[in-house]
Amino acid sequence: MKTQQDRQRRFSLEFFPARTPEGNDKVREVRQGFAALKPDYFSVTFGAGGSTRDGTLEMVTQISDEAQVPVAPHISCISSSREEITGLVNAYQKIGVNQLVVLRGDAPSGSGYDGGDFSYANELVEFLREQWGDAFHIEVAAYPEFHPEAVNAEVDLHNFKRKVDAGADSAMTQYFYNADAYFGFIDSIEKLGVDIPVVPGIMPITNYTQLARFSDRCGAEIPRWIRHRLEAYGDDMDSLRDFGHEVTLQLCQRLLDQGAPGIHFYSMNRIEPCRRLWVELGLVDL
* Residue choice 105, 200, 244, 261 for contact with ligand FAD (CB under 6 A): 105
Please tell me whether residue 4 binds ligand FAD under the rule CB under 6 A.
no
Which residue in 75, 71, 26 sits closest to 47, CA to CA? 75
Residue-by-residue DSSP string for the chain: ---GGGSPPEEEEEE---SSHHHHHHHHHHHHHHHTT--SEEEE-SSGGG--SHHHHHHHHHHHHHTSS-EEEEEE-TT--HHHHHHHHHHHHHTT--EEEEE---PPTTS-----S-SSHHHHHHHHHHHHTTSSEEEEEE-TT--TT-S-HHHHHHHHHHHHHTT--EEEEEE-S-HHHHHHHHHHHHHTT--S-EEEEE-----HHHHHHHHHHHT----HHHHHHHHHHTT-HHHHHHHHHHHHHHHHHHHHHTT--EEEEE-TT-SHHHHHHHHHTT-S--
Between 13 and 240, name the residue whose CB sits nearer to ligand FAD. 13
Task: Write each residue from 109 to 128 as x if it is in contact with ligand FAD (CB under 6 A), else as -, in one continuous string.
Answer: -----------xxx------
Between 59 and 277, name the residue whose CB sits nearer to ligand FAD. 59
* Residue choice 29, 130, 149, 280 for contact with ligand FAD (CB under 6 A): 149
Between 45 and 99, name the residue whose CB sits nearer to ligand FAD. 45
* Residue choice 138, 156, 167, 255 for contact with ligand FAD (CB under 6 A): 156
Under rule CB under 6 A, which residues in 27-86 are in contact with ligand FAD?
45-48, 74, 76
Please tell me whether residue 241 binds ligand FAD under the rule CB under 6 A.
no
Please tell me whether residue 103 binds ligand FAD under the rule CB under 6 A.
yes
What phi and psi values does residue 264 have, to the nearest 5 degrees? -110, 120
Residue 140 vs residues 61, 72, 193, 272: alpha-carbon distances, Å = 21, 12, 17, 27
Between 216 and 231, name the residue whose CB sits nearer to ligand FAD. 216
Name the one range near ligand FAD by CB under 6 A: 19-27, 60-68, 141-149, 240-248.
Answer: 141-149
93 contacts 67 by C-beta, under 8 angstroms: no
- Name 71's bridge partners: 42
Min CB(69)–ligand FAD separation in Å = 18
261 contacts 5 by C-beta, under 8 angstroms: yes
Please tell me whether residue 141 binds ligand FAD under the rule CB under 6 A.
yes
Number of residues that bind ligand FAD (CB under 6 A): 25
Between 141 and 256, name the residue whose CB sits nearer to ligand FAD. 141
Is residue 231 part of the annotated active site? The answer reads no
Min CB(159)–ligand FAD separation in Å = 3
* Residue choice 61, 62, 86, 159 for contact with ligand FAD (CB under 6 A): 159
Name the one range near ligand FAD by CB under 6 A: 1-9, 146-154, 203-211, 271-279.
Answer: 146-154
Please tell me whether residue 192 binds ligand FAD under the rule CB under 6 A.
no
Residues that bind ligand FAD (CB under 6 A): 45-48, 74, 76, 101, 103-106, 120-122, 141, 147, 149-150, 156, 159, 162-163, 172, 174, 201
Active-site residue set: 14
